[in-house]
Amino acid sequence: MRDPYAAAYVAGAVGTGALGLLVSVRNASLGHPPPYAARHIARQVLSRLLRRRMSRHEASRWAFALRAGYGPLLGMGWGLVRRRTSKWTLLQSGVLLGLGVLAFERAAFPIFKATALANTWSRAEHVWLFAQTAVFGIVTEATMRWLVKEETSATA
């Protein structure tokens, strides 16, 4: 891919897709969606913004839209800073991205009042948030490497 921003956008979208596959496993493992499930965040934040309670169906639709925008934007942000980690292993670089997303979300959730307070979450919910951000990071970084490798091979 010639445009590095397009590659980063695609990588973030692929990472989001992988996360989408993990969500059903996460919810089954927990026995319920966690407080940071996209539909809960959509319902919390958008209900306040729209000044009306959103239905579960509306929240699910908005959750899809939020994920569709959020993941690719995170990928683009990563594309701007990842050159510093290009010599690292995939796992190191991907987990670093995941930790960055985790730190951002842990800071943003209370600011936007998007979730219940983190001290009310179960240990398993904390573990799953780490796991899902790590999966997003690793898959996003793997996709970036594949796209950049493809471009490097094509120009060599």
Determine the average pLDDT of the residues in 94-99: 97
Determine the average pLDDT of the residues in 92-108: 97
Give the pLDDT confidence of 109-118 residue by residue, as tens digits: 999 999 999 9
Residue 149's pLDDT band, with cuts at 50, 70 and 90, is: confident
What is the per-residue DSSP string for 124-147?
Answer: HHHHHHHHHHHHHHHHHHHHHHHH
Determine the average pLDDT of the residues in 76-89: 90
Does the pLDDT of residue 156 top 60, yes or no?
A: no
Predicted pLDDT of residue 44? 93
Predicted pLDDT of residue 152? 54
Q: How many CB atoms lie within 10 A of CB 100?
A: 16
The answer to whether 71 and 16 are in contact (CB under 8 A) is yes
Give the pLDDT confidence of 44-68 residue by residue, as tens digits: 999 999 999 999 899 999 999 999 9
